[in-house]
Amino acid sequence: MQINTEEHVDATDQEVILWDRKIPEDILKEIATPKEVPAESVTVWIDPLDATQEYTEDLRKYVTTMVCVAVYGKPVLGVIHKPFSEYTAWAMVDGGSNVKARSSYNEKTPRIVVSRSHSGMVKQVALQTFGNQTTIIPAGGAGYKVLALLDVPDKNQEKADVYIHVTYIKKWDICAGNAILKALGGHMTTLSGEEISYTGSDGIDGGLLASIRMNHQALVKKLPDLEKTGHK
């Protein structure tokens, strides 16, 4: 099993965490049939502090911590925790979840959530693609942006119909969200519609498109000019 994390801890500073191997009842009742996979097929991606810049600016609503389990490169289990509102979303592909999609989404003039630092470059293409009624929501943190697509009981959580990212992004930022969306029937791909493999390199530079309860491939075709713009 391989573990990838954004946190870099010196050996002398490592914290020892003990687990009694008891799974909470609310999770057990959602996962009826446990699954066994070879340990060597598992990759774990951990982001201990998503939206680091926003955290330093005291914009705490954007901050999440995330854990994702991928099997043979495919995301199968994702957890996104909002520490400052004490809300946790989790989902397992072909398993259970404690979060769900919203009842409806606007595909014609969607609300698009994008990175706060790259909102301008996405806005221009989005308005050309979907029209002037399209709303752009600049936000921090990939975890927060995925939760914006779902039915989240948090008054500080904005709502969006599509999540678009146009620059290089680390896999520990997106794996958990990818797993949750996949478990709920949604999609997270590169801007060209390619599935993302959670093995190998730490990041992707093909941009990002995430949606749920929409024709994802139709969205991909609507964004032919929104190309990757290099590493951050």
Show binding-site residues for Mg(2+): 6, 47, 49-50, 173
Q: Which of 166, 223, 157, 188 is nearest to 74 (CA)?
A: 188
Task: State how far the Cα of 81 lies from the Cα of 48, in Å rounded to an integer.
Answer: 10
Half-sphere exposure of 145 (CA within 13 A, CB side): 29
If DSSP codes are grouped into helix, strand and coil, which group holds residue 45?
Answer: strand
Extract the annotated binding site.
6, 47, 49-50, 173
- 205 to each of 49, 57, 188, 202, how far by Cα in Å? 21, 27, 14, 10
